[in-house]
Amino acid sequence: MLKDAHNRTIRDLRISLTDRCNFRCFYCLPNGEPPLARKETILSFEEIVRLSRIFVSLGIEKIRLTGGEPLIRRDVPSLVAGLAALKPELKDIALTTNGFDLPRHAAGLKAAGLDRVTLSLDSVDEKNFEAITGVNALGKVLDAIAAAKAYGFHPVKVNAVIVRGRNDHEITALADLARRENIGMRFIEFMPLDSGHEWDRKQVVSGKEIFAAINERFPLELIQPDRGSETAWKYRFADGSPGEIGIIAPVTEMFCGACSRIRLTADGQIRTCLFSTAEHDLRSVVRSSASDDEIAGFIRSVTLQKEARHHINDPAYAPASRTMSFIGG
């Protein structure tokens, strides 16, 4: 098994397919950033499949494809098919998407072996959705939720980043969407990963506040007392309504002690923490004609450098070396 120096077992790999995105969410990529150079920089699908095979041989059980917006890359189903060939050792393949292009790709992704999708939806109000994302596309994301359900992706999860003064007034409306659509709605605290570097702690709506707002309108019951290595506390509706609520509070309720994740950026850098200030160049190792055993050794050595925790709440906090669109969620 792949373990770090703090005896945490690493089972989850998140792979960013691209830094590009067709949305301009204020908490991620408000002004855009110069895109990475293409062919000479971005990992090819063949390289991603090879690296994934090595990671799986080291005990990785789940792979999540992220971005940027991953469906901007051409022919993502072919990559999924390559990853699906790693089953049953690889137990789960998931995709995080803004949903804009999901309906036209859903059939191909499902046929290729994708197990789950997670969509992003921060508002159910058309004008506020556009204010947050820079795109008038609420209807497309709602269509994507319907498509994910229609093609049998299960469970369908939807992420909402809650920011004070921007969408905290919609918390209960988003929870109601979970009830009506029988989906898992996950509420996430605002994190300092925006390209505009305008994160302000005063804008963080804590997990406890989010819970209180939902619980007052729709009483909740904790599904399990121990979340293990999961990031979200999960709740069901006490009245038996369908749907699920998840609350992810990395700022106010740090869960680093149970972290099982490692990340690979689109340009082949290993990030041992979402908030890392350093990266490890796996791309150069792969392109140096290294053997699988040599690559595995590099991955093991990097994993041992995984941070014990993030430092968001420290007085001398230094921002992550790259922003969310480059890292992948």
Bridge-based pairing of strands 92-97 and 116-120 is parallel
CA distances from 245 to 157, 170, 297, 310 (A): 10, 14, 39, 25
pLDDT at 328: 66
pLDDT in tens, 35-48: 665 567 899 999 99
d(CA 210, CA 252): 12
Average pLDDT over residues 295-315: 89
Position 193 confidence tier, pLDDT thresholds 50, 70, 90: low
pLDDT in tens, 75-111: 999 999 999 999 999 999 999 999 999 999 999 999 9
- Considering the entire predicted model, what is its pTM? 0.93
Bridge-based pairing of strands 92-97 and 62-66 is parallel
Average pLDDT over residues 303-308: 93
> Sheet of 244-248: strands edge to edge?
220-222, 233-237, 244-248, 184-189, 157-162, 116-120, 92-97, 62-66, 12-16, 261-264, 269-271, 280-281
| 199: alpha, beta or left? (left if phi > 0; alpha if psi -120 to 50) | beta
Average of per-residue pLDDT values in the chain: 91
Least confident of 180-189, 242-251, 313-322: 313-322
Least confident of 22-36, 98-112, 266-280, 298-312: 22-36
DSSP symbols for 48-117: HHHHHHHHHHTT--EEEEESS-GGGSTTHHHHHHHHHTTTTTS-EEEEEE-STTHHHHHHHHHHHT--EE
d(CA 218, CA 220): 6
Position 231 confidence tier, pLDDT thresholds 50, 70, 90: confident
Q: Which is more confidently placed, 237 or 199?
A: 237
pLDDT at 184: 98
Burial classification of residue 47, based on how many CB atoms lie within 10 Å of its CB (0-12 exposed, 13-18 middle, 19 or more buried): middle
pLDDT at 258: 87
Percent of the chain scoring above 90 in pLDDT: 75
Residue whose token pair is 């790259």 = 322
For the chain, the straight-line distance linking the first and the last C-alpha, in angstroms and rounded, comes to: 23
